[in-house]
Chain A
Amino acid sequence: MSQKVLLSATEINIILHRLACQLLENHLDFSNTVLIGIQPRGTFVAERLVRILKDEYKVKHIDAGFLDITFYRDDFRRGDKTLEATATNINFLIEDKNVVLIDDVLYTGRSINAALTALQSFGRPKEVELLTLIDRRFSRHLPIQPNYRGRQVDAINDEKVKVMWKENDGKDVIYLINK
């Protein structure tokens, strides 16, 4: 197994700032926009973006939540492992809102498909966009593309992209791991 650094802490920080600016450009004051991080790893990206938008770009209020998609996945009973659920925390209505789904790595697109199904339990959004830190090109199983992407990666199927966060894993870094 070998691993190489795909993005360093500085690069991640620059990319998060760019993504925050792109969100700002499209959603202005976030009065009709909600950010939803997909559990478990998308919530870190969402939390960082919210912090940047509030601290550095002085957005007063952003509705942000996180969504667990375990019970909506299409691979229940098909894998070797039981799917373990995590918490959902969406304490606002998404009816008629612009929703930005946020995840760390976009790979087959199946998680996003499950997230779109799960969102229906919280109302009918006006529009749904997708933000992803890493977009693994050429590996999609479904016709799903991000509206905002941090970095595009051409990784082959044996390779794995691992995103680490200071608050969870000790440091900010993204590795490309060759199994």
Chain B
Amino acid sequence: MSELSVKHLLGIKYLNESDIQLIFETADHFKEVINRSIKKVPSLRDITIANIFFENSTRTKLSFELAEKRLSADVINFSASQSSVKKGETLIDTVNNILSMKVDMVVMRHPNPGAGIFLSKHVNASIVNAGDGAHEHPTQALLDSYSIREKLGDVAGKNVVIVGDILHSRVALSNIFALKLQGANVKVCGPKTLLPKHVESLGVKVETDLRKALNWCDVANMLRIQNERLDISYFPTTREYTQQYGVNKTLLNSLDKEIVIMHPGPINRGVEITSDVADSKQSIILNQVENGVAIRMAVIYLLAAKIK
């Protein structure tokens, strides 16, 4: 198996287990490349990639752009806030205009769930979903699993708890799909108001007591409270949320075993995790960022191989 089963990366839901293994093995090689003094390979010198961001992003956008440049692709960037979208242009028109400038691949972040899937049916380019509303964020889930594999040797059989706002989180959904596909045990933990109804149907368990969840797990993936998506009040105050679902050093030290702490960023220090936890030896938050570039290089390389 040396080829992805898909033409676009729209979500983890559309991948199979060998796709994930292929992406990880390819990322291993790119990780070696980006740790050289000359961090660039010429593979994609005849490919042009458009990064289209209809929603704010720092890490993901930088990570994708760096990955593309290290593969020698030509890159154009587009932010919706400075564009004709504001003048009423539709998504398909915007993207087709960009594609008529001979672009081969589109990396898109969009506030609406399914935007990438919609686009893949209507335009002739390879689409990479960099986050679509509360739906999926596949490259984040891939880099999270890759970081667990790097730290603990394997993902299969590991206990992973995802803590926080599961209801609005595309990171949570993609992570659940990716972790289940690789044979990990997954729990979600948070206030009941922020857990989707019937989340158990995805094969995960629900735990509302953070201490119990942490004592069970090998890895805790701490999510940010997405204030921009909270249309109503889901919990009384941020302070109360922190008291019940925030991780601090005292709580971490009182557990039965040493667990790995992850966070997809951006961190709200002092809300979901305290600074001494985020900067501790148990945290692999910055490894996640480094691995993000290798994973995105692998995804882009493997998708580009299918462009004829």
Interface residues of A (CB under 8 A from B): 68, 70-73, 76-77, 81-88, 117, 120-122
Cα-based distance from A82 to B32 in the complex (angstroms)? 20
Are B43 and A76 closer than 8 Å at their CB atoms?
yes
Are B42 and A117 closer than 8 Å at their CB atoms?
yes
A85: B residues at CB distance < 8 A: 25-26, 29
Q: Which 9 A-B pairs have CB atoms at the shortest separation, nearest pair first? A: A71-B41, A84-B2, A121-B38, A82-B305, A85-B29, A82-B3, A71-B43, A82-B2, A76-B43
Are B307 and A87 closer than 8 Å at their CB atoms?
no
Cα-based distance from A88 to B46 in the complex (angstroms)? 24
Q: Residue A77 contacts which of B2, B40, B41, B305 (CB distance < 8 angstroms)?
A: B305
Q: Residue B307 contacts which of A77, A86, A120 (CB distance < 8 angstroms)?
A: A77
Cα-based distance from A81 to B2 in the complex (angstroms)? 8
Cα-based distance from A68 to B41 in the complex (angstroms)? 11
Q: List 7 A-B contacts (CB under 8 A).
A: A71-B43, A71-B71, A76-B304, A77-B305, A82-B2, A82-B302, A88-B33
Are A77 and B26 closer than 8 Å at their CB atoms?
no
Q: Residue A71 contacts which of B3, B28, B33, B308 (CB distance < 8 angstroms)?
A: B33
Cα-based distance from A81 to B25 in the complex (angstroms)? 17
Cα-based distance from A70 to B71 in the complex (angstroms)? 12
Residue of A nearest to B25 (CB): A85
Are B305 and A88 closer than 8 Å at their CB atoms?
no
- B residues 190-206 near A (Cβ < 8 Å) are none
- B residues 63-110 near A (Cβ < 8 Å) are 71
A86: B residues at CB distance < 8 A: 29
B122: A residues at CB distance < 8 A: none
Interface check B281, CB cutoff 8 A: no
Are A83 and B26 closer than 8 Å at their CB atoms?
no
Are B308 and A77 closer than 8 Å at their CB atoms?
yes
Residue of A nearest to B1 (CB): A84
B29: A residues at CB distance < 8 A: 68, 70-71, 85-88
Are A72 and B32 closer than 8 Å at their CB atoms?
no
Are B38 and A81 closer than 8 Å at their CB atoms?
no
Interface residues of B (CB under 8 A from A): 2-3, 25-26, 28-29, 32-33, 36-38, 40-44, 46, 71, 301-302, 304-308
Cα-based distance from A120 to B40 in the complex (angstroms)? 10
B44: A residues at CB distance < 8 A: 76
Are A83 and B305 closer than 8 Å at their CB atoms?
yes
Residue of B nearest to A81 (CB): B2
**In whole Å, how far is A56's beta carbon from the nearest beta carbon of chain B?**
33
Are B43 and A88 closer than 8 Å at their CB atoms?
no
Residue of A nearest to B72 (CB): A71
A120: B residues at CB distance < 8 A: 38
Q: Residue B3 contacts which of A76, A81, A117 (CB distance < 8 angstroms)?
A: A81
**In whole Å, how far is A66's beta carbon from the nearest beta carbon of chain B?**
12
**In whole Å, how far is A102's beta carbon from the nearest beta carbon of chain B?**
20
A87: B residues at CB distance < 8 A: 28-29, 32
Are A77 and B33 closer than 8 Å at their CB atoms?
no
Residue of A nearest to B39 (CB): A121
**In whole Å, how far is A9's beta carbon from the nearest beta carbon of chain B?**
31
Are B3 and A121 closer than 8 Å at their CB atoms?
no
What 14 additional pairs, Cβ within 8 angstroms, besides A82-B306, A85-B29, A88-B32?
A68-B29, A71-B29, A71-B33, A71-B42, A71-B301, A73-B43, A77-B305, A82-B2, A82-B305, A117-B42, A120-B38, A121-B33, A121-B40, A122-B36
**In whole Å, how far is B223's beta carbon from the nearest beta carbon of chain A?**
33
Which of the listed residues A73, A85, A87 has the most CB atoms from chain B within 10 Å of its own CB?
A85
Cα-based distance from A164 to B129 in the complex (angstroms)? 44
B306: A residues at CB distance < 8 A: 82
Are B41 and A72 closer than 8 Å at their CB atoms?
yes
Cα-based distance from A76 to B302 in the complex (angstroms)? 11
Which of the listed residues A73, A82, A86, A117 has the most CB atoms from chain B within 10 Å of its own CB?
A82
From known contacts A82-B302, A85-B26, A88-B29, infer whether A72 and B2 are also in contact, taking CB-CB under 8 Å: no
Are B43 and A121 closer than 8 Å at their CB atoms?
no
B305: A residues at CB distance < 8 A: 76-77, 82-83
B33: A residues at CB distance < 8 A: 71, 88, 121
Are B38 and A72 closer than 8 Å at their CB atoms?
no
Which of the listed residues B3, B28, B305 has the most CB atoms from chain A within 10 Å of its own CB?
B305
A76: B residues at CB distance < 8 A: 43-44, 304-305
Cα-based distance from A87 to B41 in the complex (angstroms)? 14
Residue of A nearest to B33 (CB): A71
